Amino acid sequence: MQRFSRCGLFSLAVLAVALMSTSVARRKGDHATSLSSFADWNIPELIDHLNRADLEVFAEPTQKNGTLRQSVFLTTAKRSWRDLIFLVKYPSRIQEWRGIVY
């Protein structure tokens, strides 16, 4: 009887490990899928997502006649291209970048 108990416990442990590894693999797969779909977004899709999440953002192209499909400034307040393009990208000037992402 004791030998059966050891075999039963061993089998139960193997089964538990198999189920946990399957669960973890499934979660990693879902996470990878969501990350890859995020990586496929373009800038207007990102802006739309942020605005639907109640994070009001404004976008301004980094080039004067550029589009929102290239590189942009994302801001929490409406700013002109001229205000944004002359911001100095240097750590000591970080306070000027509050509410702005390049």
Instruction: Please name the amino acid found at residue 98.
Output: R
- What residue spans of 40-80 are helical by DSSP H? 43-52
All residue ranges of the chain with pLDDT < 50 are 1, 31, 33
pTM: 0.59
Cα separation, 62 vs 86, in Å, equals: 10
For residue 34, what pLDDT is reported? Answer: 55
